[in-house]
Amino acid sequence: MATPLILASSSPYRRALLQQLQLPFQYAAPHINEEARPGEGADALALRLAKRKTEALAVNNPHALIIGSDQVAECRGQILGKPGNRSKAIAQLQTCSGHKVTFHTGLSLLDSESGRQTSTVETFTVYFRTLNSAQIERYVELEKPYDCAGSFKVEGLGITLFEKLDGDDINTLVGLPLIRLVDFLSEFGIDPLNPEIKC
């Protein structure tokens, strides 16, 4: 690949997902304001932040393909952020117990040289089992999901919290929709199965 590929994220989960494509890439934190605007819906917020992340890194990387992704979860009309600590994680899981949680994952790919950008929002819905306090506290104690929106890690013990999953790409739930990203990369001339040749 002649053009550097940069992931606009410091998330270890997104880096691990992108590594599955076996393309060389760099990563950097974009340092943007992630607060929702008044009246902004979860899907619109996820899309705007994904775009802003790419644009923030483009300033210092004028000849790169930059990947931005941001995830916003909502349950019962409430946006769920990263809990940050044990008590908030328990409270989030109590809110989610017996309900569905929809994850809106914004994805954007920006060619910082040409300014060409393509973006979308992928959704994934999880249906929580009805959980009792002991189950919730035990889960939080074992996985400490304090840096995860929705307070779970689906790639770990979090799978035990759900009755059903509904979505096209399980990676969307973790934070980077790889199936759609491969489509985007192809549009920009990159094939992970043959990265030396333009598509």
70 is catalytic: yes
CA 195 – CA 60 distance, rounded (Å)? 24
Within 10 angstroms of residue 31's Cβ, the number of other Cβ atoms is 11
- Closest by Cα among 123, 174, 157 to 20: 174
**53 vs 108: CA distance, rounded Å:** 9
Q: Return the structure tokens found at 176.
A: 């980077």
Annotated active-site residue in 43, 70, 147, 183? 70
Alpha helices in the chain (DSSP H): 12-19, 42-58, 86-96, 133-143, 170-174, 178-187
Max CA-CA distance within the chain? 54
Residues 105, 70 contacting (CB under 8 angstroms): yes
Give the active site residues.
70
